[in-house]
Amino acid sequence: MKMSRMLRSILLFPLAIFMGVDGGDPPAGDPPSAADPPAADPPAGDPPAADPPAGDPDPDSPEEKAKAEADAKAADAAKLVGAPEAYTEFKVPKGAVMPDGFFEAYTPIVKDFNLSQEGAQALFDRLTTDLQPKMIAAQQEKWEGVKTAWAEATKVDKEIGGTAYDANVAIAQRALNTFATPELKQALSDYGMGNHPEMVRLMLRIGKAMREDSVIQPDGSGGDGDKAKLKSLYPTMDK
């Protein structure tokens, strides 16, 4: 048996060298057949383009800019919600005038809308810087319209206006200058009441009660007839 194995090794050794095998048992599997065609070479040409490696998106691309802007708006909006247990004092912009009791009415409203301190302050700023000036301008425009309407009504008043309008206004102005204090004149000017037909009517009647040759003084000095006329206009004059 040993002799047979030795003889077999001696016979196979030259064959192993010829086949390029470092001795030992041949590798498992069938040897390649001579009938098998050789492997085909890859076709000539450029190799297929490989997919670009994944990486960070381009922050300058329109899509990324739009996404960043949307994210920033969402973050800012998130800061405006979430009402606190109690709001701190709001900052009033310089020059803004708030009516009494404004914040007592404002605070429950912003709390109902679940606005944060920052959100409630932002809304208040918009009210005072954007809406309040427009509201004041609208009110002023309306008030100017009222004063203009008073002046027009005075011009067509049966007692004051018509062809005698200029003369009657002069009489009323003389009475006002005689009896009115500077403070009253200023108030009439500030509030436009000097154009009101009833104010002009009052001054006109006082002026007509005044005698051209004896100006009635505010203390009632003058003729008895003048004093009687003043008492009829001012029943509490002597009190």
**pLDDT one-digit tens code per residue, 165-212:** 999 999 999 999 999 999 999 999 988 899 999 999 999 999 999 855
The per-residue pLDDT for 3 is 47
d(C-alpha 8, C-alpha 16), whole Å: 12
The per-residue pLDDT for 214 is 53
Q: Is the pLDDT of residue 9 over 70?
A: no
- pLDDT tens-digit readout, 120-156: 999 999 888 888 888 888 999 999 999 999 999 999 9
- Of the pLDDT bands very low, low, confident and very high (cuts 50, 70, 90), residue 49 is low
Of 102-106, 138-142, 193-197, 235-239, the least confident = 235-239
- Of the pLDDT bands very low, low, confident and very high (cuts 50, 70, 90), residue 38 is low
Residue with tokens 């994210």: 71
- Of the pLDDT bands very low, low, confident and very high (cuts 50, 70, 90), residue 57 is confident
d(C-alpha 88, C-alpha 84), whole Å: 9
Q: Is the pLDDT of residue 236 over 80?
A: no
The pair of three-digit structure tokens given for residue 50, joined into one six-digit string: 């490989």
- Of the pLDDT bands very low, low, confident and very high (cuts 50, 70, 90), residue 78 is confident
Average pLDDT, the chain: 76
The per-residue pLDDT for 133 is 84
Residues composing the chain? 239
User: Comparing C-alpha atoms, which of 60, 133, 138, 43 is closest to residue 95?
Assistant: 133
Overall average pLDDT of the 28-40 stretch: 54
Q: How many percent of the chain have pLDDT more than 90?
A: 41
Q: Is the pLDDT of residue 21 over 70?
A: no
Cα 142 to Cα 107, 145, 169: the distances in Å are 30, 5, 25
> Please, is 203 exposed, middle or buried when counting C-beta atoms within 10 Å of its C-beta (0-12, 13-18, 19+)?
buried
Residue with more model confidence, 204 or 63: 204
Quote the pTM value.
0.49
Q: Is the pLDDT of residue 43 over 70?
A: no
The per-residue pLDDT for 81 is 87
The per-residue pLDDT for 11 is 44
- Of the pLDDT bands very low, low, confident and very high (cuts 50, 70, 90), residue 19 is very low
The pair of three-digit structure tokens given for residue 238, joined into one six-digit string: 């002597």
Q: What is residue 130's DSSP assignment?
A: I
